[in-house]
C-alpha cells in the first residue's frame, strides 16, 4: 500500500503544478486581453471563393471523374476571365446587422460603413442584412444614420430582411434603395411604445412616503413610486406622439411611395402583405439575391469585431440569453421610449 500512497502524492504534486501553470497562463492572457481591450479587427470574406469551394467539394462527391474535371476546368477559365477584367467588375459589400434592444451591433456597423465607403463607388453596391425587432429610440436613430451615410455617398443600398425588420429595424430598412423581404419576413410596426408600473398605492397602503424633487415642470412626468397626475400622463402621451411623428416623417422621406398613415399604425405585415403595402420592393431571400450577385460581381462580406476578454464573452452571452426578458420588462421599470 506504500506505493499507492506515493503514487497518490505524485498525482497531487503533478496536479498542483498543472493548476499553477494554468493560473499563470490565465493571468498572462488576462493582461494581454486588457492591453488590447477596445481594439477591433475588420475581416473580409470573398463570397465568390466561398461558394466555389463549396461547389467543388459537393462536385467531388456527386460527379463522376470526367464531369468533375470538366467543372474544374470551366471554373478556372472563368476565374482567368474575371482576373483579366477584374478592375471593371462591380463590387458588392455585404454587412450584417443583428439588432437587440440597445442596437449593440451599431458599434460594428459604424466601423464597417466607414471602411466600405473608403472604397465603394456609385457603380458598386452595399447590401445590409437586417434582423431586428426594434429597441431604444436614440440607439436605432444612430444606427439608421449609418445607413444614411451610404445613401448620401451615392452608393446603391439594398436591404435584405429574412426574418424581421420591425419598428427600429424597419426604420433602418426603409433607407434602402431597395428592400427585399423573405416570404414570411415581418416588416412594419411603425409605432412607439412605453410602459411603466406604479407602486404608489402599495406604498401608501404600508404608510411609506415617497418624495421626488425636480427642477423643471416636465423633468418627470410618470414615475414608479410617485402619484402620477393626469397632466403628467398627457405630457407623456404628447412626447410619444411627437416621437411617432418624427418616425413617420423619417420613413416617408426615404419611402415616399408609402401611404404612411395607413401603415404607421404599429401593425406588422408578413412578406406578401408587406409587398402589397409597399413596405418591401421584392420577395426574395438574402441567399438568393447574394447568389445572383456572385455570378456577375465580386461579393465581399465585411465584419468588424472588437476583441473580447473571456469575462466579456461570458457577459455578452448572458446578455443575449436575457435579451427577450429585457425587451419585455425594461420599459416597465424605466421611463424609456422604444420603437
Grid coordinates standing for 2?
A: 506504500
Q: Of residues 167, 189, 286, 331, which has the active-site annotation?
A: 167
Statement: the pTM of the whole predicted model exceeds 0.85: no
Q: Of residues 80, 84, 201, 219, which has the active-site annotation?
A: 219
Residue-by-residue pLDDT tens, the chain, 339 positions: 565 566 566 666 666 776 677 666 666 666 665 545 557 899 999 999 888 888 788 888 888 888 777 777 777 776 666 666 555 688 999 999 999 999 999 999 999 999 999 999 999 999 999 999 999 999 999 999 999 999 999 999 999 999 999 999 999 999 999 999 999 999 999 999 988 899 889 888 899 988 888 899 888 898 898 889 999 999 999 999 999 999 999 999 999 999 999 999 999 999 999 999 999 999 999 999 999 999 999 999 999 988 766 555 556 666 666 665 555 544 444 445 555
Considering only CA atoms, which of 153, 144, 164 is closest in space to residue 126?
153
Beta bridge mates, 165: 132, 187
Q: Where are the domains of the chain?
A: 38-196+223-333
Mark whether 84 is an active-site residue: no
Mark whether 167 is an active-site residue: yes
Contact 339/147 with Cβ under 8 angstroms?
A: no
Give CATH for domain 38-196+223-333. 3.90.226.10
Full DSSP string of 312-337: HHHHHHHHHHTHHHHHHHHHHHS---
Amino acid at each position: 500500500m506504500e506505493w499507492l500512497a506515493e503514487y497518490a502524492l505524485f498525482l497531487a504534486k503533478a496536479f498542483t503544478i498543472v493548476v499553477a501553470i494554468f493560473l499563470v497562463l490565465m493571468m498572462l492572457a488576462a493582461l494581454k486581453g486588457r492591453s488590447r481591450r477596445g481594439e477591433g479587427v475588420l475581416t473580409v470574406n470573398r463570397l465568390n471563393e466561398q461558394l466555389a469551394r463549396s461547389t467543388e467539394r459537393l462536385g467531388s462527391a456527386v460527379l463522376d471523374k470526367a464531369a468533375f474535371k470538366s467543372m474544374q476546368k470551366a471554373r478556372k477559365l472563368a476565374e482567368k476571365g474575371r482576373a483579366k477584367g477584374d478592375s471593371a467588375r462591380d463590387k458588392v459589400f455585404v454587412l450584417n446587422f443583428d439588432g437587440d434592444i440597445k442596437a449593440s451591433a451599431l458599434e460594428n456597423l459604424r466601423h464597417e460603413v466607414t471602411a466600405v465607403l473608403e472604397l465603394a463607388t456609385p457603380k458598386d453596391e452595399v447590401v445590409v442584412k437586417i434582423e431586428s425587432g426594434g429597441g431604444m429610440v436614440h440607439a436605432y436613430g444612430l444606427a439608421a444614420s449609418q445607413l444614411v451615410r451610404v445613401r448620401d455617398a451615392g452608393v446603391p443600398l439594398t436591404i435584405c430582411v429574412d426574418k424581421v425588420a420591425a419598428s427600429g429595424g424597419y426604420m433602418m430598412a426603409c433607407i434602402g434603395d431597395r428592400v427585399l423581404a423573405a416570404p414570411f419576413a415581418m416588416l412594419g410596426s411603425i409605432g412607439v411604445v412605453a410602459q411603466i408600473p406604479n407602486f404608489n398605492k402599495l406604498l401608501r397602503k404600508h404608510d411609506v412616503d415617497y418624495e421626488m424633487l425636480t427642477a423643471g415642470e416636465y423633468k418627470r412626468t410618470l414615475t414608479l413610486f410617485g402619484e402620477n397626475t393626469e397632466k403628467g400622463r398627457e405630457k407623456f402621451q404628447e412626447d410619444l406622439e411627437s416621437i411617432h411623428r418624427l418616425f413617420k416623417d423619417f420613413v416617408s422621406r426615404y419611402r415616399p411611395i408609402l401611404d404612411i398613415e395607413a401603415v404607421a399604425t404599429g401593425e406588422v405585415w408578413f412578406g406578401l402583405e408587406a409587398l402589397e403595402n409597399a413596405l418591401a420592393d421584392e420577395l426574395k431571400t438574402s441567399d438568393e439575391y447574394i447568389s445572383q450577385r456572385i455570378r456577375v460581381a465580386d461579393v465581399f462580406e465585411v465584419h468588424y469585431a472588437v476583441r473580447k476578454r473571456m469575462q466579456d464573452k461570458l457577459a455578452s452571452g448572458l446578455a443575449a440569453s436575457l435579451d427577450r426578458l429585457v425587451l419585455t420588462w425594461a420599459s416597465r421599470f424605466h421611463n424609456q421610449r422604444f420603437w
